[in-house]
Chain A
Amino acid sequence: MAHSARAGWAFAAPGLTMLAIVMGLPVLYALAMALSSMTLLRPALHITGVGNFLQIMSEPLFWSSLGLTLRYALGAVVGEFLVGLAIALMLRQVVALRGLYFAVLTLPMAMAPVAVALIWRMLLQPNLGIVNQTLTSLGLPAVDWLGDPHLALKTMIFIDIWQQTSFVVLLLSAGLASLPREPYEAAEVDGAGPLQQFWYITLPLLRPVAMIAVVIQLINEFRTYDLVYILTRGGPGVSTELLSYFAYQRAFKGLALNEGSAAAFILLLIVLLITVVFFFLLERRKS
């Protein structure tokens, strides 16, 4: 090994060691629990194999939770991206009070998801909440936002978009600000209109930043737990029971730490897979 490489490893060693301790060990312990017979009633760690994975994967509720998680994550990320891109493009044109707009836009992002869920739970309260009060005062019927199994997941996606879009706006605004002027000047000389400029210049140049925004948000959405816990507890029925909530319920209500860890590990593998695929696509694009 070259001297410079050895020096590099030496400098990185403290950081890597810390990372291994605070990240690697808990993940390995979770994997060990997932492969063991450990429950809250019998907390000893005896490795028994992949039985817990097979057990939860044999349950329809697991697949229903996984399907709902995919729908939720895709719905939220697509919504956040489209709304975030629209806002970022509009903000690009704004000169006056730009700082104020950004400050207001980042407020939801600064709030804890639990607080956001509690606020929306009150706003959407079917009988006394301000949203339904407004609808009924306009002569419209009250809507059962969180109690209708066909609407509850969509309502949660909307609340997620409300909170998380500002993060996408910030990332895309930074990406837009870094785009070079020259392609636009050349396009104007060639007579390209605003839509053509957006489609053929802005979008392709913005793609790396956009992909990073999408992958970060996808990871966030897969981990969503707070909104489910505060808003619906997975109901009505199982219409909002996401995989993270399934894992928690299994571990702490069902007292089965092993099965809960197995579900959480599957969630981790999905998130890892998505991350790897996105970064592979990003690298391929670069090369």
Chain B
Amino acid sequence: MKKMITALTLGAAASLWGGAALADGVTLHALMEDVPETAIIEKMLPEFEKQTGIKVEFEKVGYGDMHDKLVPQLVSGKSYYNLLEVDFLWAGEFPAAGWLEDLKPYAKKSGFDTSVFIPSTMKLLGDTDASMPLIPMYNYSMGLIYRTDLLQDPKLKATYKKETGQELAVPKTLADYVKVAKFMKAEGKVAGAAMQGQKGDPNAMEFSNYLFSAGGAYLDGKNKVVLNSDAGKTALTLYKDAITHAAQTGALSATLDDTMRLMCSGKAFSMVTYWWMLPQIDNAKSCPSVAGKVALSVMPGGHGESGGWGWGIPKNIPQDEKDAAWKFITWVQSKDVAVARAMEGHAPVRADVYEDPAVLKKYPFYKQAMKVVESGKSFPIFTYSAQYEDTLGTQLSLAASGEKPVPDALSAAADGLTGLMNK
């Protein structure tokens, strides 16, 4: 009996030892948004695995599913995702909940230079003197993508001139944009604006562009809520007008994917969207109907919504996995890899990548993209930003569907923001 117990104990010890040895080959699991940026990095993963022996697996889902999948993992005993892609909207919530490692000591220990990142991209992700919860991954500022062929169509130009007395051109103000979009729907046989009106992130992000374009803001310099202003009313009135009279059928339930498909199929004149969508739409292989007929501009009015993603490391994983995740972050954001990503259409966060001659030669529109990034303004970032997207989205949806008057919806959206900021 004693021999049997000894044998069993030795066996168990051997299996534990074996398990520890297996843990050397860490596999990183990351929940990633299913967008071109992810595909670009995914193609490069074999190179990282070859260099380090660390395997990286991406689980790609739509944006709307990410927060709901991440939070249960971050509150659990051990997170399945040991490398995090974190939206700037969660950059208030995740550190406040204590879910993220502070990356400052990691950067210091490994000598990783964070001064190469555009300062606004670091600030957007909660970087302070005391801590650095996230490292910038890519930016997503929003601008206007529009059809040049429709703007230059002689028949449409003549009709527009006859109807309005103005030239049909790239709009300079938000009111002009909505007017042109409505005209395109009436005369151009296309949706004037491919709009993502589903409540929540889609319509909250889209409306933010209208708000900033109209000269409005969510907060003033002292973090006081100023959404319910004349500019806010103008923005929401024009947003409702656009979704009712210029957008595609079903805009109130549409998401980014829906607008992308519509624009790609040639059935829309314009879309307010992320600037890096341009190469995807201006692509003869994936969007033959519109390739060569689209261009990017800063939101009419001069300012659009700015945003960005960052890399993070969860607290509730073993140290060897944290170290592996940090190794990956420093690799993927290094100059060489960032330039290689940019050559494939990456939206840079490092200033030196925007200035790289090879990148500018291949993508001259990065100059325009830089203007979009520079002029972008941010959605309010605080602990309950994700919840505020839903609060705001609900009010926008109620206003856009005619269920609630614009002043009431705007007032409720402003009160909701005040309430959550005071929570």
Sample of 14 further A-B pairs with CB below 8 A, known A126-B254, A148-B252, A252-B71 = A127-B267, A147-B250, A232-B198, A233-B64, A236-B197, A236-B252, A237-B401, A238-B394, A238-B398, A252-B72, A253-B386, A254-B387, A255-B97, A255-B387
Does any Cβ of A come within 8 Å of B390's Cβ?
Answer: yes
Does any Cβ of B come within 8 Å of A152's Cβ?
Answer: yes
A-B contact number at CB 8 A: 100
Chain B residues, CB < 8 A from A254: 384, 387
Does any Cβ of B come within 8 Å of A75's Cβ?
Answer: no
Residues of A contacting B: mostly: loop
Does any Cβ of B come within 8 Å of A217's Cβ?
Answer: no
Q: Judging by beta carbons under 8 Å apart, are A127 and B394 in contact?
A: no
Does any Cβ of A come within 8 Å of B96's Cβ?
Answer: yes
Give a binary string over B237-260; 1 marks a CB under 8 Å from any A CB, 0 the rest: 000000000001111111000100
Q: Judging by beta carbons under 8 Å apart, are A236 and B250 in contact?
A: no
How far apart sit A87 and B85, CA to CA, in the bound complex (Å)? 50
How far apart sit A132 and B249, CA to CA, in the bound complex (Å)? 10
Cross-interface CB contact of B250 among A125, A234, A237, cutoff 8 Å? A125
Give a binary string over B81-101; 1 marks a CB under 8 Å from any A CB, 0 the rest: 000000000000100110000
How far apart sit A208 and B191, CA to CA, in the bound complex (Å)? 54
Q: Judging by beta carbons under 8 Å apart, are A147 and B265 in contact?
A: no
Cross-interface CB contact of A40 among B97, B250, B253, B394, cutoff 8 Å? B97
Does any Cβ of B come within 8 Å of A149's Cβ?
Answer: yes
Q: Judging by beta carbons under 8 Å apart, are A237 and B97 in contact?
A: no
Q: Judging by beta carbons under 8 Å apart, are A237 and B71 in contact?
A: no
Cross-interface CB contact of A253 among B67, B248, B253, cutoff 8 Å? B67
How far apart sit A5 and B125, CA to CA, in the bound complex (Å)? 66
How far apart sit A252 and B74, CA to CA, in the bound complex (Å)? 12
- Pairs of residues from A and B, 5 with the lowest C-beta to C-beta distance, nearest first: A126-B250, A147-B252, A235-B199, A147-B253, A237-B398
Q: Judging by beta carbons under 8 Å apart, are A128 and B261 in contact?
A: yes
Does any Cβ of B come within 8 Å of A41's Cβ?
Answer: yes
Does any Cβ of A come within 8 Å of B404's Cβ?
Answer: yes
Q: List 13 A-B contacts (CB under 8 A).
A: A128-B261, A144-B252, A147-B251, A147-B253, A149-B403, A232-B253, A235-B252, A236-B199, A236-B401, A237-B199, A238-B394, A254-B384, A254-B387
Q: Judging by beta carbons under 8 Å apart, are B254 and A233 in contact?
A: no
Give a binary string over B345-387; 1 marks a CB under 8 Å from any A CB, 0 the rest: 0000000000000000000000000000000000000011011
Query: Given known contacts A127-B267, A236-B397, is B71 in contact with A142 (CB within 8 Å)?
Result: no
How far apart sit A125 and B194, CA to CA, in the bound complex (Å)? 14
Q: Please provide the chain A residues from 209 to 246 with a CB less than 8 Å away from any CB of chain B in the complex.
A: 231-239
Does any Cβ of B come within 8 Å of A263's Cβ?
Answer: no
How far apart sit A148 and B400, CA to CA, in the bound complex (Å)? 11
How many positions in chain B have a CB within 8 Å of any CB in the partner chain? 39
Query: Given known contacts A41-B97, A253-B386, is B250 in contact with A146 (CB within 8 Å)?
Result: yes
Chain B residues, CB < 8 A from A145: 250
Chain A residues, CB < 8 A from B384: 254-255
Chain B residues, CB < 8 A from A231: 253
Q: Judging by beta carbons under 8 Å apart, are B200 and A127 in contact?
A: no
Chain B residues, CB < 8 A from A232: 198, 253
Chain A residues, CB < 8 A from B129: none
How far apart sit A144 and B71, CA to CA, in the bound complex (Å)? 33
Does any Cβ of A come within 8 Å of B68's Cβ?
Answer: yes
Size range of the chain A interface in the assembly: 20 to 34
Chain B residues, CB < 8 A from A125: 250, 258
How far apart sit A265 and B380, CA to CA, in the bound complex (Å)? 33
Chain B residues, CB < 8 A from A255: 93, 97, 383-384, 387
Chain A residues, CB < 8 A from B261: 128
How far apart sit A149 and B402, CA to CA, in the bound complex (Å)? 9
Give a binary string over B261-279; 1 marks a CB under 8 Å from any A CB, 0 the rest: 1100101000000000000
Cross-interface CB contact of A128 among B262, B390, B403, cutoff 8 Å? B262
How far apart sit A231 and B253, CA to CA, in the bound complex (Å)? 8
How far apart sit A118 and B67, CA to CA, in the bound complex (Å)? 20
- Nearest CB of B to A156, in Å: 11
Does any Cβ of B come within 8 Å of A43's Cβ?
Answer: yes
Quick one: closest B residue to A149, CB to CB?
A: B401
Does any Cβ of A come within 8 Å of B393's Cβ?
Answer: yes
Quick one: closest B residue to A253, CB to CB?
A: B387
Chain B residues, CB < 8 A from A275: none
How far apart sit A142 and B267, CA to CA, in the bound complex (Å)? 15
Quick one: closest A residue to B201, CB to CB?
A: A233
- Nearest CB of A to B46, in Å: 31
Q: Please provide the chain A residues from 43 to 66 with a CB less than 8 Å away from any CB of chain B in the complex.
A: 43
Quick one: closest B residue to A141, CB to CB?
A: B249
How far apart sit A137 and B159, CA to CA, in the bound complex (Å)? 28
Q: Please provide the chain A residues from 76 to 115 with a CB less than 8 Å away from any CB of chain B in the complex.
A: none
Quick one: closest B residue to A128, CB to CB?
A: B261
Cross-interface CB contact of A237 among B75, B249, B394, cutoff 8 Å? B394
Q: Judging by beta carbons under 8 Å apart, are B96 and A41 in contact?
A: yes
Does any Cβ of B come within 8 Å of A197's Cβ?
Answer: no
Give a binary string over A124-165; 1 marks a CB under 8 Å from any B CB, 0 the rest: 011110001000000000101111110010000000000000
Chain B residues, CB < 8 A from A146: 250, 253
Quick one: closest B residue to A39, CB to CB?
A: B97
- Nearest CB of A to B281, in Å: 16
Chain B residues, CB < 8 A from A41: 96-97, 383
Does any Cβ of B come within 8 Å of A249's Cβ?
Answer: yes
